[in-house]
């Protein structure tokens, strides 16, 4: 078995870069709140010292295009240049739930305006850097459509319009992909969405069909982009490049009920979810978001790493694991200090001080070594995973 080389390192670090408007109208800017926009070089060096040479990071479209058609790159260039200076490879999120306030996300003009922004970004990145660029046009189309199109959890505050929003975000993504490739033909496109598993409670067999219907919604955006459904959107197989699979502890649940823990009889192992995605699309894939807070972080990293090795072992060539968020951040709804990832910040009043979490760093080092053995054909890793049991 050969090591995967989609990214410069098998483990990536993901910087939370949400910029949506909450229900109360407040515009989030997590990159500013955590200080990553000011301390990117230091953050990148911390990760590089741990052997993490690839990251997910983002642009803040709402700051860059405050005036229609005019771009101010001052909030982006420092991070872009810091990545170049530290030798960090970046997958850039072009739209992480936020957009300029002068734009109507429901309007026919939205995809074209987003495409123009994507092309302008690609030109800046080409001018400033070398190598093959990686872009995520719209982060988590399916989650965004559900949270903001059906549940009105954040803007555009839709209810019952989830599928409509999903189609609009797919239109925007396809327009952006075409625009980026018109500037940089070899650019790689990463399409992220959560994988989920939804079942009927054993006491409610009548929920089996709706539960399975909800589970299958995780494929809708990828199917649209690939042109398998909704052909009027203009999807095509070549638009479906790299799949980023997002997975957390609460991505499995009983319909209308609580999350299914790892010990639950109806819980489905992560490696089987990854295998299902691979068999459906046969596209390069990686675990684009995964993590747990506080003291659960190392055990969760151990669990998902073991599941990724199992997925590879049964035929799904997973090509990376992104610890996400890799840096502490203030919670979306209440600004609570979310302690997570490899980099700890003091917060909530001082986000400037950084330090590496020893337990997370130690577990990362063990998993890096385990994958080296695994990719070289060793068998000790499989035995270790079996002995470790579930997280």
pLDDT at 2 exceeding the cut of 50:
no
Write phi, then psi, for 320 (nearest 5 degrees). Answer: 165, 165
Average pLDDT, integer, range 21-38: 94
Note whether residue 377 is domain-resident: yes
Of the given ranges (155-159, 204-208, 292-296, 322-326), which has the lowest mean pLDDT?
204-208
Taking the C-alpha atoms of residue 177 and residue 188, their distance in angstroms, rounded to an integer, is 9
pLDDT, residue 378, reads: 56
pLDDT, residue 140, reads: 98
Domain count, the chain: 1
**Greater model confidence, 141 or 377:** 141
pLDDT, one tens digit per residue, over 39-96 is 999 999 999 999 999 999 999 999 999 999 999 999 999 999 999 999 999 999 999 9
Note whether residue 40 is domain-resident: yes
Note whether residue 3 is domain-resident: no
Read off the pTM: 0.94
Note whether residue 5 is domain-resident: no
pLDDT at 196 exceeding the cut of 90:
yes
Note whether residue 6 is domain-resident: no
Nearest partner of 193 among 257, 147, 259, judged by Cα: 147
Write phi, then psi, for 344 (nearest 5 degrees). Answer: -95, 140
pLDDT at 388 exceeding the cut of 90:
no
Note whether residue 4 is domain-resident: no
CATH number at residue 108: 3.20.20.80
pLDDT at 349 exceeding the cut of 70:
no
pLDDT, residue 379, reads: 42
pLDDT at 248 exceeding the cut of 90:
yes
Note whether residue 1 is domain-resident: no
The H-assigned helical ranges of the chain are 30-34, 36-49, 61-64, 77-86, 109-128, 141-144, 162-183, 208-216, 220-225, 270-281, 297-313, 358-375, 380-388
- Containing structural domain, residue 185: 11-388
pLDDT, residue 278, reads: 98
What rounded mean pLDDT belongs to the chain? 93
- Return the ∠ at Cα 155 (arms to 36 and 198), rounded to 5°: 90
pLDDT at 177 exceeding the cut of 50:
yes
Note whether residue 2 is domain-resident: no
pLDDT, residue 348, reads: 66
């Amino acid at each position: 078995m050969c090591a995967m080389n989609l990214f410069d390192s098998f483990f990536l670090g993901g910087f939370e870069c949400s910029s949506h408007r909450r229900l109360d109208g407040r515009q989030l800017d997590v990159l500013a709140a955590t200080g990553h926009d000011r301390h990117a070089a230091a953050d990148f060096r911390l990760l590089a010292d741990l052997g993490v040479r690839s990251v997910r990071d983002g642009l803040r479209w709402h700051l860059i295009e405050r005036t229609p058609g005019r771009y101010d790159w001052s909030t982006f260039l420092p991070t872009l240049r810091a990545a170049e200076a530290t030798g960090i490879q970046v997958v850039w999120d072009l739209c992480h739930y936020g957009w300029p306030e002068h734009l109507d996300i429901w309007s026919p003009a939205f995809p074209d305006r987003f495409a123009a922004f994507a092309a302008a970004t690609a030109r800046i990145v080409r001018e400033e850097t070398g190598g093959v660029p990686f872009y995520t046009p719209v982060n988590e189309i399916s989650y965004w459509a559900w949270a903001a199109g059906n549940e009105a959890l954040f803007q555009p505050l839709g209810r019952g319009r989830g599928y409509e929003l999903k189609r609009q975000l797919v239109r925007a993504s396809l327009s952006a992909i075409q625009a980026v490739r018109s500037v940089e033909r070899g650019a790689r496109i990463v399409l992220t969405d959560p994988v989920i598993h939804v079942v009927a409670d054993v006491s409610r067999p009548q929920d089996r069909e709706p539960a399975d219907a909800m589970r299958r919604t995780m494929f809708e955006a990828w199917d649209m982009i690939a042109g398998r459904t909704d052909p009027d959107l203009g999807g095509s197989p070549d638009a479906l490049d790299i799949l980023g699979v997002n997975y957390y502890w609460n991505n499995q649940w009983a319909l209308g009920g609580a999350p299914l823990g790892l010990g639950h009889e109806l819980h489905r192992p992560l490696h089987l979810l990854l295998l299902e995605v691979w068999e459906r699309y046969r596209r390069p894939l990686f675990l684009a978001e995964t993590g747990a807070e506080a003291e659960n972080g190392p055990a969760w990293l151990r669990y998902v790493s073991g599941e990724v090795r199992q997925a590879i072992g049964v035929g799904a060539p997973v090509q990376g694991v992104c610890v996400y968020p890799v840096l502490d951040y203030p919670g979306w709804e209440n600004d609570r200090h979310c302690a997570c990832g490899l980099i700890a910040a003091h917060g909530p009043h001082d986000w400037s001080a950084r330090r590496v979490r020893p337990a997370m760093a130690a577990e990362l080092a063990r998993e890096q070594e385990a994958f080296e053995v695994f990719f070289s054909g060793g068998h000790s890793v499989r035995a270790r995973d079996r002995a470790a049991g579930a997280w």
